[in-house]
């Protein structure tokens, strides 16, 4: 071959030394291609037939470009099965939700992905494709469509609260507020505030309401970043028409006016008292028979007031912890000994105000159920990765947290089972879904069957006998 560029020839000569067999260089339409040449005997023509196999090309600059290898694809498809199916089974709100929004399937699918393997919106569709569940639920989870659905969902107000009422099987709701941060400048509700690290940034208020009966999240709302705890519950109550409901609140919600409003409207309440409240007077109490709560022995008392029943609980272990904290303040010059002696009187004492007449153990257990709200906030911010949002409109933010509520119901469905089996110290919710992702279903044109199930995944499956394995 004449007029071969020197760099092409140099590269080809090097290849001849390194490649096995005979290789050839061909010029086709001004480009240089490398082939491997072999031969075989043609029985029909009774002669040797030359066979060439394309290897790659060489640029005029002498760069060798190997032929792209085609991936051999099989008709078999392999899907994650048990993780998606369990999440779908535990959510169990499809019939309720379809009466309120035409996007119920997409919202459910997005919540399932958020619960089993949280991903950014742009990756939800790709993650969904790995689940066998995509053969059961037909949805469009493209980034453009899911963004539109979140905005549409976030515009809802009245139907949200009608839906929340259907989720609230209990007559009591645990209610609390936290803050999340946003990186978008277009969120009107975002307002400057300090986070736990004392950084000044845009934040939103997020409220979660928990049903006491089944210990599942039953409501969520997004508020202005500067809105106070007490203001959010007034707004929540205006929208929540179910007046037979009651609320178990945190200390930040204490207000005499709020208690009066509750009593006026016949709404049940359990509200913690502040340490400096006049109702925290223990001088004339007669302590009743103690009870044990999580290996801590607690004595209690109750007396009637104009604002309702005052329940006081004395925890000796808590008293030691609180006295130590007060003494440290004295040591650091933040408190005088006179102030210490005064505050010491109620160290270890928890005060609750309620219109419910229950035993001390029942009221204390109701209040301590608030720990689940704290778990919900922790799961929302860390496991579900919802401690910050990149949504660009107020409506999209509300839609995003509606999906978060549904994902939390899945999370607590798993957590409840782990608690029933006393396994929370050994297995996390995240581990459950990780192990179940290994339960895979193989789909071929003529049949479907399960791949070999790992031992640990099989043990996790035994915790959920209701998991459909058809």
Condensed to tens digits (0 to 9), the pLDDT of residues 319-336 reads: 999 999 999 999 999 999
Q: What is the pLDDT of residue 193?
A: 61
Task: Choose from 11-15, 20-24, 189-193, 316-320 the range with maximum mean pLDDT.
Answer: 316-320
Quote the pLDDT of residue 187.
65
Average pLDDT, stretch 202-208?
Answer: 82
Lowest model confidence (mean pLDDT) among 124-133, 230-239, 437-446: 230-239
For residue 122, give Cα distances in angstroms to 336, 390, 438: 57, 12, 24
**Per-chain mean pLDDT for the chain:** 86
The Cα 140–Cα 133 span in angstroms is 13
Environment class of 90 (CB within 10 Å of its CB; exposed 0-12, middle 13-18, buried 19+): buried
Residue 242's pLDDT is what? 67
Say if 157 falls within a structural domain: no
pLDDT value at residue 188? 60
Q: Tell me the percentage of the chain whose pLDDT exceeds 90.
A: 42
246-248 and 172-182 beta bridge pairing: parallel
CA distance 466 to 89: 8
Residue 459 has pLDDT above 90, yes or no: yes
Looking at residue 213, its pLDDT comes to 81
- The residue among 164, 181, 182 whose CA lies nearest residue 173 is 164
193 or 112: which leads in pLDDT: 112
Query: Does some domain include residue 281?
Result: yes
Helix locations, 19-157, DSSP H: 82-91, 94-97, 104-116, 121-128, 143-154
Full-model pTM: 0.76
* 322 alpha carbon, distance to own chain's centre: 34
CA distances from 426 to 293, 372, 431 (A): 22, 18, 10
Is pLDDT above 60 for 197?
no
Last residue of a domain, one of 50, 66, 82: 66
Confidence band of 184 (pLDDT split at 50, 70, 90): low
pLDDT category of residue 109 using cuts at 50, 70 and 90: very high
Q: Strand 172-182 relative to strand 388-389: parallel, antiparallel, unpaired?
A: parallel
Predicted confidence (pLDDT) at residue 416 exceeds the cutoff of 80? yes
- What does 125-188 look like in DSSP terms, one character per residue? HHHHTTBGGGGTS-----HHHHHHHHHHHHT-SHHHHHHHHHH--SSEEEEEEEEEEE--S--T
- The answer as to whether 125 is a domain residue is no
The answer to whether residue 290 is domain-embedded is yes
pLDDT interval class at 255 (50, 70, 90): confident
Q: How would residue 209 be classed by pLDDT, with cut points 50, 70 and 90? A: confident
Residue 180 has a pLDDT of 74
Residue 392 above 90 pLDDT? no
* Residue 173 confidence class, pLDDT cut points 50, 70, 90: confident
Asked if residues 99 and 70 have their Cβ atoms less than 8 Å apart, the reply is no
Q: Residue 281 in 3-state DSSP?
A: coil
Q: Is residue 87 part of a domain?
A: no
432-445: b (≥16 Cβ within 10 Å) or e: bbbbbbbbbbeeee
**How many domains does one find in the chain?**
2
Confidence of residue 114 (pLDDT cuts 50, 70, 90): very high
Q: Which domain holds residue 55?
A: 6-66
> pLDDT higher for 225 or 301?
301
pLDDT reading at 318 higher than 70 = yes
Q: What is the mean pLDDT of residues 217-237?
A: 79
What is residue 276's three-state secondary structure? coil
Q: Could you report the per-residue pLDDT of 339-380, keeping only the tens digit for each?
A: 999 888 899 999 999 999 899 999 999 888 888 888 888 888
Residue 80 is predicted with a pLDDT of 95
Give me the mean pLDDT over the 299-316 stretch.
92
Which of 358, 393, 428 represents a domain boundary (last residue)? 358
List the Cα angle 347/349/352 in 5-degree steps.
145
| pLDDT of 67 above 90 | no
**Quick check: helix, strand or coil at residue 426?**
coil
The pLDDT of 151-179, averaged and rounded, is 86
Residues 6+ apart with CB under 8 A from 61: 7
pLDDT at 386 > cutoff 80 = no
- Looking at residue 192, its pLDDT comes to 60
437 falls within a domain: no
- Whether residue 128 is contained in a domain is answered as no
Do residues 142 and 390 make contact, with C-beta atoms less than 8 angstroms apart?
no
Q: Say if 30 falls within a structural domain.
A: yes
C-alpha distances (whole Å) from 190 to each of 200, 315, 389 are 12, 40, 11
**Both tokens assigned to 21:** 């067999």
Is residue 445 very low, low, confident or very high in pLDDT (cuts 50, 70, 90)?
confident
* Residue 240: band (very low, low, confident or very high) from pLDDT cuts 50, 70, 90: confident
Among 22-36, 75-89, 214-228, 406-420, the minimum mean pLDDT is found in: 214-228
The residue among 358, 379, 397 that closes a domain is: 358
Phi (first) and psi of residue 251, to 5 degrees: -60, -30
């Amino acid at each position: 071959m004449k007029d071969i560029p020197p760099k092409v020839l140099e590269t080809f000569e090097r290849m001849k030394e390194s490649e096995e067999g005979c290789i050839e260089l061909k010029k086709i339409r001004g480009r240089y291609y490398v082939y491997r040449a072999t031969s075989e005997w043609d029985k029909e023509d009774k002669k040797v037939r030359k066979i060439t196999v394309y290897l790659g090309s060489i640029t005029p600059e002498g760069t060798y470009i190997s032929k792209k290898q085609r991936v051999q694809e099989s008709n078999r498809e392999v899907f994650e099965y048990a993780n998606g199916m369990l999440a779908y089974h535990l959510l169990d709100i499809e019939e309720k939700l379809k009466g309120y929004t035409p996007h119920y399937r997409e919202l459910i699918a997005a919540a399932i992905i958020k619960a089993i393997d949280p991903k950014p919106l742009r990756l939800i569709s790709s993650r969904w494709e790995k689940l066998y569940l995509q053969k059961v639920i037909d949805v469009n989870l493209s980034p453009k469509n899911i963004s539109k659905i979140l905005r549409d969902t976030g515009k809802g107000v009245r139907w949200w609260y009608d839906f929340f009422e259907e989720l609230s099987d209990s007559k009591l709701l645990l209610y609390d507020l936290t803050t999340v941060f946003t990186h978008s400048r277009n969120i009107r509700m975002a307002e400057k505030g300090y986070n736990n690290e004392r950084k000044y940034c845009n934040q939103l208020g997020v409220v979660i309401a928990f049903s006491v009966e089944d210990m599942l999240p039953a409501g969520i709302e997004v508020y202005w970043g500067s809105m106070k705890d007490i203001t959010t519950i007034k707004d929540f109550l205006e929208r929540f028409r179910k007046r037979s409901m009651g609320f178990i609140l945190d200390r930040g919600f204490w207000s005499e006016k709020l208690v009066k409003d509750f009593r006026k409207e016949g709404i049940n309440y359990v509200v913690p008292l502040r340490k400096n409240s006049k109702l925290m007077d223990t001088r004339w109490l007669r302590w009743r028979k103690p009870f044990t709560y999580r290996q801590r022995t607690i004595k209690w008392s109750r007396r009637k007031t104009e604002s309702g029943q005052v329940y006081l609980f004395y925890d000796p272990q808590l008293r030691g912890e609180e006295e130590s904290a007060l003494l440290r303040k004295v040591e650091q010059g933040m408190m005088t000994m006179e102030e210490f002696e005064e505050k010491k009187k109620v160290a270890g004492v928890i005060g609750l105000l309620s219109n419910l007449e229950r035993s001390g153990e029942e009221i204390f257990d109701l209040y301590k159920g608030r720990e689940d709200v704290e778990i919900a906030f922790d799961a929302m911010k860390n496991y579900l990765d919802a401690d910050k949002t990149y949504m660009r409109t107020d409506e999209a933010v509300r839609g995003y947290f509606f999906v978060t509520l549904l994902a939390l119901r899945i999370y607590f469905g798993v957590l409840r089972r782990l608690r029933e089996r006393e396994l929370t110290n050994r297995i996390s919710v995240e581990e459950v879904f990780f192990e179940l992702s290994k339960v895979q279903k193989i789909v071929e044109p003529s049949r479907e069957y399960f791949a070999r199930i790992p031992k640990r995944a099989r043990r996790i499956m035994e915790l959920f006998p209701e998991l459909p394995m058809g």
